[in-house]
Amino acid sequence: MHPPSRPILQDQAYSGSNRLSSQPAAATRVHIHAKARNPRLADAKGGRTAAGRKERIHGHGSVTRRLGEAVLAALLMVVLLPLLLGIGLALLLAQGRPVFYLQERMRAPDRAFRLVKFRTMRPVQPGEAEAVATGGYSLARVTPMGRILRETRLDELPQLFNILKGEMGFVGPRPPLRRHVEACPELYARVLRLRPGVTGLASILFHRHEAWLLSAARTPEETEAIYIRRCIPRKARLDLIHQRNRSLALDLYILYLTAATLLPLPGRRARRLRRPPPSVSPPPPPP
The pLDDT tens digits of the residues spanning 31-42 come to: 444 343 333 333
* Domain assignment present for 37: no
Put simply, whether the predicted model's pTM sits higher than 0.75 gets the answer no
String of DSSP letters for the chain: ----SEEE---STTTS-----SS--TT-EEEEE-SSSS-EEEESS--B-TTSPBPP---S--HHHHHHHHHHHHHHHHHTHHHHHHHHHHHHHHH-S--EEEEEEEEETTEEEEEEEE--BPPPPTT----SSSSGGGGGGB-HHHHHHHHHTGGGTTHHHHHHTTS-EEESPPPPPHHHHHHSHHHHHHHTTSPPEEE-HHHHHSHHHHHHHHTT--SHHHHHHHIIIIIHHHHHHHHHHHHHT--HHHHHHHHHHHHHHHSS-S-THHHHHTSPPTT-PPPPPP-
Burial track 147-181 (b if 16+ CB lie within 10 A, e otherwise): eebbeebbbbbbbbbbbbebbbbbbbbbbbbeebb
Domain of 228 in residue numbering reads as 62-273
* Domain assignment present for 17: no
Tell me how many domains the chain contains.
1
171: which strand partners? 199
* Domain assignment present for 281: no
> Averaged over 206-217, what is the pLDDT?
86
At 68 the pLDDT is 92
C-alpha angle 7-177-220 in degrees, rounded to nearest 5: 105
- Which of these, 275, 271, 189, 282, lies nearest to 236 by C-alpha position? 189
228 within 8 A of 177, measured Cβ to Cβ: no
* Domain assignment present for 35: no
The C-alpha atoms of residue 154 and residue 162 are separated, in whole angstroms, by 15
Tally of CB atoms within 10 A around 243: 25
> Averaged over 200-228, what is the pLDDT?
88
* Domain assignment present for 9: no
Asked whether residue 162 carries a pLDDT value surpassing 70, the answer given is yes
At 18 the pLDDT is 37
Side-chain half-sphere exposure of 228, counting CA atoms within 13 A: 18
109 within 8 A of 157, measured Cβ to Cβ: no
pLDDT > 90: percent of the chain: 47
User: 2 vs 26, 161, 247, 258, CA distance in Å?
Assistant: 30, 29, 11, 18
The C-alpha atoms of residue 228 and residue 225 are separated, in whole angstroms, by 5
* Domain assignment present for 33: no
* Domain assignment present for 108: yes
Of 126-130, 158-162, 257-261, the poorest mean pLDDT is in 126-130
Asked whether residue 57 carries a pLDDT value surpassing 80, the answer given is no
Asked whether residue 54 carries a pLDDT value surpassing 70, the answer given is no
Confidence of residue 220 (pLDDT cuts 50, 70, 90): confident
* Domain assignment present for 47: no
